[in-house]
Structure 1
Amino acid sequence: MSADPARPAPAPLAPGQLIARGVCRHLRDLGFACVEELVPTGGLRVDVMALGPRGEVWIVECKSSRADYTSDRKWQGYLDWCDRFFWAVGAEFPTDLLPAETGLILADGYGAEIVREAPEVRLAGARRKVVTQKFARHAALRLQALRDPVLSP
C-alpha cells in the first residue's frame, strides 16, 4: 500500500505532546478515554481531557519546561470543567513550582505515573452533561478527520 500523497507525513511531536502521549497511555490503562487539545469554552484549550469509566472528568495540563509553566495564565479556568485537575511534567521538571493543591503526574513519551492525586471537586450535573457532549463531539470529529483528511476537526 502506497502513502497517500495528499496526506503529509506527520511532524515530530513537541516535548509537551510527548508528555501528553505518555499521560494518555497511562490513563487508558486505568480505564479512561482521552482526547487532546479540547476546547471546553472560548479562550481555553486543555492539553488532555480524560473521561473515566464512572463518568469522571479529569483535565491534565502538560508542561515541558519552567517557561512553559510560568507562561500559563489560564489553568485555574480549567478547574470549572473537571472533577480533578493534574499537571503532567517530565522527570527533570522543578515540581516545587506546581501548586500543592493540584494533582501531579510524571510522564514521558511512553508512559506516566500519578505521583500526587488531585482533590476531587465534582462537576454539577448540567456542567457534566455539557463537558461530556463536548468530549464526545471532539472525539467523533477527530475520528472522522482521520478517515477523511479533507475534513478538519
Structure 2
Amino acid sequence: MQTLSDMQPGQILARGMARALTDLGLASVLEMPLRPRLRADVMALSRKGEIWIIECKSSRADFMSDHKWQGYLDWCDRYYWAVDSDFPQELLPEETGLFIADGYGAEMLREAPEARLAPARRKALTLDFARIAAARLQGYRDPAVPVLPEAAR
C-alpha cells in the first residue's frame, strides 16, 4: 500500500477525491481509461448512474500544460477540477465544478453544471467502469490473474 510520501501530487489529490466521493455516495475509479491517450484522473458513478470526471491539477504549470481537458466533457454528466488550497483558482473555467482537495478528503466549492450523456454512451461507460473496477479488484486478490487490457491502460 502506498503512503502519501510515496505519491506524486496529483495522486494525493486523487486519493482525497476518492474519499470525498465515497462520502457523497459515489463510487470512483482512479486513472479511468476512456479511449487511447485519454484517461480521467478520477471517474465517479452515482447511485442514479450519473457520471462525473474529476481532473486533478497540482500546480499552475500542470494546468497550463494540459490542452486536452475539454475532450473529457463528452465523457461525463458533470466535470470537476480538484486542486489544493494554494492553486490559483482564477485559472479554472467558471463553467466547470471545483473541489479543494488534499490527501485526506475534499470540499466542493462549486458544483458542475449538468450536461447529460447520450444513453448509449452512458451504458458503455457504466459497463467499462464496472469491468475495470472488477478487474482491478481481482488483481489485488490474485496478482497472478492477467489484467484486462483496458484496465491496465
TM-score, scaled relative to structure 1: 0.91
Q: Does 1:127 align with 2:110?
A: no
Q: Which residue of 1 aligns with 2:14?
A: 20
Which runs of no fewer than 5 residues in structure 2 stay unpaired?
Answer: none
Matching residue within 14, 30, 33 for 1:36: 30
Secondary structure, counterpart of 1:50 in structure 2: strand
Residue of 95, 100, 104 corresponding to 1:101: 95
Indicate which of 107, 117, 141 corresponds to 1:113.
Answer: 107
Report deviation, 1:10: 4.1
Provide the aligned C-alpha RMSD in A.
1.2
Give distance in 2, aligned partners of 1:44 and 1:20. Answer: 17
Corresponding residue number in structure 2 for 1:142: 136
Task: Considering fraction of residues, name the structure with more helix.
Answer: 2
SS of residue paired to 2:38: coil
Identity %: 61
Amino acid at match of 1:36: L
Higher-Rg structure is: 1
CA shift digits 1:47-99 (9 cap, x unpaired):
00000011100000001111111111111111011000000000000010011
Q: Which deviations, in whole Å up to 9, do the C-alpha atoms of 1:118-152 show, x marking residues without a partner?
A: 00000010010011011011101110111122344
> Could you give the per-residue CA deviations for residues 24-67 of structure 1, whole angstroms, max 9, x where no partner exists?
11110111000000111122010000000111000000011111
1:5 maps to which residue? none
Q: Distance in 1 between matches of 2:26 and 2:72?
A: 19
State the distance in 1 between where 2:37 and 2:78 align: 20
Q: Quote the residue 1:48 is aligned against.
A: 42
Give the length in aligned residue pairs: 145
CA distance in 1, matches of 2:110, 2:94: 9
Q: Take 2:22 and 2:43, find their aligned partners in 1: how far apart are those partners?
A: 12
Report the AA paired with residue 63 of structure 2.
Answer: Y
Q: For 2:28, give the aligned amino acid.
A: C
Query: Any idea what SS the aligned residue of 1:45 has?
Result: strand
Instruction: Give SS of 1:46's match.
Output: strand
Letter in 1 for 2:46: G
Return 5+ residue gaps in structure 1 as ranges: 1-8
